[in-house]
């Protein structure tokens, strides 16, 4: 039988070789055997002290724990990897390799300040090689940038837009702005503004727990392909929850569709990147059936700005889980939009929002009549009772409204439809935002009327100006590409478009794309959107 020293050397060589070959699972097994044997030897040595031997064993143990942490992090066994890092740092507080490994893990968990502390401490190790120091400096600079973005929300996507969305998407940090989770009158829980917010203001940025993507064929994704995609997505989330305590914690905050009104309101600190959740490990371990229910209720279809605006990858499709975005309820008068960039989603206000107002998305097309919206909401499993739907319910009994709907369905001159609606609203004493609600419901007629030079000439003296309609609809339901297109189409026909006109267009663009772009980039987006 081999001596302990020989066995240690054999295990260390084997584990190192497996790590270099990127056989992480087998490498973990070998390092685990080495660590157990090494710890046994240290105990025996303490019984029979050997001042030279103990430090060597401890140094070997520290390095083995660090290497096992690296292998575990590659397999996304985040909780166990961090335990190994902490155990190694108890042996050697400034161990370069361990600090680098822990810093990278913390940065991937969006804990930028904690990661920064690791990288700064690693700089104190005098034994770091030139190559290691260069790698460290790269991580340090990236971490500083991420920490700044996470703290300030000062994101800028301008270069990416100006370059035509080529190359990798910009690196983004997680950020939470002026929002909090509260009980919602819409149903269950919702996200609310904590202060007055201007259109385009960034509300939060969050990274997906998991995403599954596909490039569809010309005829779309078949049922079998969708099932395969969905299964992979479920497996990825389940795997992540089992290996990362933070992911498990976040998932337990989400509804599975049952007992929505009795569900607990999670503390916002749980979602903030810098929160130390080491003492918040959930006792609830999620099984696959519970995760399936959570994903069925909370997953979102990815909507990539590069695909939507440029028409690139028009068959592109992705599904993912962004936890904080899952708390946003639907309304037919939404006030927020989202942009998907890489694995992150940026959520911003699409119109001005008052303090205490609930943040809402449009789950489906809200530039549709009441009847169509009813169908769509029921396909989502709920009946929308927002103030717009309630208002239109009360008005829907009017014979004139039904006649206007029938006229539109039968292909009546859209200018005439707009004229009848506008005249009707005067008689029905419709005021303020309520006008915007009805104009949004009959947007198909407005779009056709203002998009046709012939119809504009015919009806221009009898229907409101396009700018009036655009402002009214945006105030009611937020910015939308189709509404913006009408406004931009009019601007392009104006010779020598002035500063005020362009500023107005930029404001509409900020409601649509957010403020994370400079004027040049926004102008490109506006032109692309309306081309």
Indicate the SS3 state at residue 356: coil
CA 531, CA 510: separation in Å to the nearest integer? 18
**What are the DSSP calls for 112-140, one per residue?**
HHHHHHHHHHHTT-TT--HHHHHHHHHHH
> Of 398 and 282, which is predicted with more confidence?
398
Q: Answer yes or no: is pLDDT of 218 > 50.
A: no
Q: Answer yes or no: is pLDDT of 235 > 70.
A: yes
CA atoms within 13 A of residue 97's CA, in its CB half-sphere: 16
Per mean pLDDT, which range of 101-110, 125-134, 445-454, 512-521 is the poorest?
125-134
As a whole number, mean pLDDT of residues 171-190 equals 93
Q: Answer yes or no: is pLDDT of 318 > 90.
A: no
CA 98, CA 78: separation in Å to the nearest integer? 14
Domains of the chain: residue spans and CATH: 4-151 (1.25.40.10), 159-361 (2.170.270.10), 370-530 (no CATH)
Per mean pLDDT, which range of 58-62, 297-301, 409-413 is the poorest?
409-413
- pLDDT, one tens digit per residue, over 436-448 is 999 999 999 999 9
Per mean pLDDT, which range of 151-155, 176-180, 500-504 is the poorest?
500-504
Per mean pLDDT, which range of 13-17, 87-91, 209-213, 402-406 is the poorest?
402-406
As a whole number, mean pLDDT of residues 324-337 equals 96
pLDDT of res. 529: 75
pLDDT of res. 1: 42
- pLDDT band of 143, cuts 50, 70, 90: very high
Residue in 529, 526, 524 with CA at minimum distance from that of residue 158: 524
pLDDT of res. 374: 94
CA 345, CA 207: separation in Å to the nearest integer? 6
Q: Answer yes or no: is pLDDT of 419 > 90.
A: yes
pLDDT of res. 82: 95
Is the CB of residue 369 less than 8 Å from the CB of residue 421?
Answer: no
As a whole number, mean pLDDT of residues 141-152 equals 94
pLDDT of res. 309: 62
- pLDDT, one tens digit per residue, over 344-359 is 999 999 999 999 999 9
DSSP bridge pairs for 212: 319
pLDDT of res. 410: 86
- pLDDT, one tens digit per residue, over 484-499 is 888 887 666 655 556 6
Q: Answer yes or no: is pLDDT of 33 > 80.
A: yes
- pLDDT, one tens digit per residue, over 64-86 is 999 999 999 999 999 999 999 99
Residue in 296, 307, 303, 419 with CA at minimum distance from that of residue 361: 303
Is the CB of residue 325 less than 8 Å from the CB of residue 344?
Answer: no
pLDDT of res. 213: 84
Q: Answer yes or no: is pLDDT of 520 > 80.
A: yes
- CA dihedral in degrees (179, 320, 163, 177; nearest 10)? 10
pLDDT of res. 4: 76
Structure tokens at 163: 């370059």
Residue in 30, 37, 105, 118 with CA at minimum distance from that of residue 73: 105
Please state, rounded to an integer, the average pLDDT across all residues of the chain. 87
Q: Answer yes or no: is pLDDT of 18 > 70.
A: yes
- pLDDT band of 313, cuts 50, 70, 90: low
pLDDT of res. 237: 94
Q: What percent of the chain has pLDDT over 70?
A: 89
């Amino acid at each position: 039988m081999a001596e302990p020293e020989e066995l240690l050397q054999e295990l260390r060589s084997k584990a190192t070789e497996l790590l270099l070959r990127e056989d992480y699972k087998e490498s973990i097994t070998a390092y685990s055997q080495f660590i157990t044997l090494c710890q046994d030897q240290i105990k025996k040595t303490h019984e029979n002290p050997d001042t030279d031997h103990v430090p060597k064993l401890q140094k070997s143990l520290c390095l083995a724990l660090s290497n096992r942490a690296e292998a575990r992090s590659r397999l996304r066994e985040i909780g166990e990897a961090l335990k190994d890092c902490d155990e190694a740092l108890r042996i050697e507080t400034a161990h370069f390799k361990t600090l680098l490994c822990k810093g990278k893990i913390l940065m991937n968990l969006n804990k930028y300040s904690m990661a920064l502390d690791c990288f700064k401490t690693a700089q104190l190790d005098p034994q770091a090689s030139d190559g290691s120091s260069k790698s460290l400096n790269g991580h340090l600079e990236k971490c500083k940038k991420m920490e700044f973005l996470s703290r300030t929300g000062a994101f800028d996507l301008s270069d990416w837009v100006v370059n035509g969305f080529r190359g990798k998407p910009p690196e983004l940090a997680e950020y939470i702005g002026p929002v909090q989770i509260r009980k919602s009158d819409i149903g269950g829980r919702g996200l609310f503004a904590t202060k007055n917010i201007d259109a385009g203001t960034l509300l939060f940025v969050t990274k997906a727990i998991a995403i599954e993507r596909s490039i569809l064929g010309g005829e779309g994704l078949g049922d079998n392909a969708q099932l395969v995609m969905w299964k992979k997505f479920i497996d990825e989330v389940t795997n992540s929850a089992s290996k990362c305590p933070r992911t498990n914690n976040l998932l337990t905050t989400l509804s599975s569709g049952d007992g929505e009104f009795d569900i607990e309101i999670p503390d916002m600190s749980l979602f903030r990147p810098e929160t130390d959740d080491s003492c918040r490990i959930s006792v609830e371990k999620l099984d696959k059936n519970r995760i399936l229910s959570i994903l069925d209720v909370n997953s979102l279809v990815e909507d990539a700005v590069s695909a939507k605006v440029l028409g690139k990858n028009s068959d592109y499709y992705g599904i993912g889980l962004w936890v904080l975005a899952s708390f946003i309820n639907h309304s037919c008068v939404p006030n927020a939009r989202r942009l998907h960039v890489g694995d992150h989603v940026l959520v911003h206000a699409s119109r001005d929002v008052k303090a205490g107002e609930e943040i809402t998305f449009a789950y489906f097309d809200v530039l549709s009549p009441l009847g169509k919206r009813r169908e769509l909401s029921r396909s989502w499993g709920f009946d929308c009772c927002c103030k717009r739907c309630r208002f239109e319910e009360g008005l829907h009994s009017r014979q004139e409204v039904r006649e206007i709907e029938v006229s539109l369905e039968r292909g009546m001159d859209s200018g005439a439809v707009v004229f009848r609606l506008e005249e009707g609203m005067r008689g029905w004493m419709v005021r303020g935002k309520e006008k915007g609600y009805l104009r949004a419901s009959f947007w198909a007629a407005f779009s056709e009327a203002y998009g046709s030079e012939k119809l504009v000439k015919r009806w221009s003296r009898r229907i409101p100006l396009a700018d009036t309609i655009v402002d009214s609809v945006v105030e009611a339901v937020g910015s939308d590409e189709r509404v913006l297109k009408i406004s931009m189409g009019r601007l392009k026909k104006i010779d020598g478009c002035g500063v005020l006109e362009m500023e107005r267009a930029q404001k509409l663009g900020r409601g649509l794309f957010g403020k994370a772009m400079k004027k040049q980039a926004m102008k490109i987006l506006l032109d692309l959107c309306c081309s």
